[in-house]
Amino acid sequence: MSWKPNRNVWALSLTSLLTDVSSEMVLPLLPSFITTVLGGGPAALGRMEGVAEAVSSLLKLWSGRQVDGGRPCRPWILAGYGLSGFIRPFMGMAGSTNAVVLIRAGDRVGKGLRTSPRDVLLGAAAPPEHRAQVFSFHRAMDHAGAVIGSLLGWVALSYFQWDLRTIFYAAALPGLLAFGVLLFGLREEPRPEEKPRKVEEEGGLPRTFWWFLAATAVLALGAGSEGFLLLAAGGSDVPLSGLPLLWMGLHIVKSISSLWAGPVADRLGHMGIFLSGKLVHILVFIGFAYVSLPLGVVALFLIHGLHHGLAEGSEKALVADWVPHALRGRAFGAWNLVTGLFALPAAVGFGMLWEEVSRPAAFLVAVVLSLVGMGMMLWIRRLPRNLNVA
């Protein structure tokens, strides 16, 4: 049986597309803004990314718990997207790296409020045999927005000769459009498989899910940040005006591979496709440790998009696979908490290793951590779940 996106999947996916148009006009230029305009370095970039993800992840756990048992998701989604759209343009006013950290953290507060409730609605949008397709379709639309945003950033730099702050202000418009799509397009429907007191009846999250989260934590420590990949590209003589194009190319790969990987993961197994994506990540990071020629760095940067296409949708499908319906809010919240919270030491440690030791050392430590996390996942996939979560 084929699967087609319903109204809510389209509304959430188009909202993500427009939100990423807004955010990705800004994000590929942030490393250069921090280093050339504000005088920061890799450690400042790591602090920004780490704090932002940690703040976001704590709120993802809390918001996820608020929507368990069939409670409404729509208000949290509206609040999250609305806050991010409002605060992001203030990046153009930042006068220090600490101000950038605070504004980026505020943007991620919005992400923390919306992500887990949004994932609950997406998880309920299709039967288990099409679950990876739902998440992969949403991720593909998200990455398509990043392509458009990166292209707009490049046009603004190359043709209109806008400075970085002006581009940050212009990013407010697609954020406003995203909120409008969500406000008028999202209609929360009852989740019929859940009963009013289902959460209490189900008890806590399964023990094997906690092992899954432990492996996720180790993988998060080895994930690094794409901000560092941009920094490596800039250090390899890729021009500033070329960074939005490079970012656009990365998200083209992400979008196309997400659309392809979703049906494949549903057919061949979510865990296998997820681990394949992590293997691509490891190989790319080994390459970044040793390759410095601009052409090689560009190729590695684009190949890294395949990692996201393979891993993102299948990993979210794994979260939904592992728990009963009524506990998915807290399951997605716990997963988002782990991935975001461990991004803080990962990003800060990566930046410090780069600055105090060397670029290769930072990438190779991330590789070792990723290998350990993959080994844990291979062990976990053998554990019985003994749960009917269809």
Q: What is the DSSP string of 99-137?
A: HHHHHHHHHHHHHHHHHHHHHHHHHTSS-GGGHHHHHHH
The alpha carbon of residue 261 and the mean position of all alpha carbons in its chain are separated, in whole angstroms, by 16
Please check whether residue 197 lies inside any domain of the structure.
no
The one-letter amino acid at 384: P
Name the DSSP letter for residue 37.
I
Residue of 221, 171, 225, 179 lying closest to 15 (CA atoms): 179
Residues in the chain, total:
390
- The pTM of this model reads 0.71
CATH code at 292? 1.20.1250.20
Please check whether residue 132 lies inside any domain of the structure.
yes
Please check whether residue 199 lies inside any domain of the structure.
no
Please check whether residue 41 lies inside any domain of the structure.
yes
Number of domains in the chain: 1
Confidence band for 222, pLDDT divided at 50, 70 and 90: very high
**Would you tell me how many other CB atoms lie within 10 Å of the CB of residue 381?**
17
Q: Show the domain range for 215.
A: 7-186+205-380
Residue 236 has pLDDT above 70, yes or no: no
Kindly state the greatest CA–CA separation across the chain: 60
CB 69 within 8 A of CB 196: yes
Burial 69-91, CB ≥16 within 10 A → b, else e: bbbebbebbbbbbbbbbbbbbbb
Identify the H or E element spanning 13. Answer: helix 7-26
Please check whether residue 125 lies inside any domain of the structure.
yes
Please check whether residue 386 lies inside any domain of the structure.
no
Region 151-178: mean pLDDT is 88
Tokens representing 167?
Answer: 């581009």
Region 56-64: mean pLDDT is 81
pLDDT per residue as tens digits for the range 82-113: 998 888 888 888 888 788 878 888 888 898 89
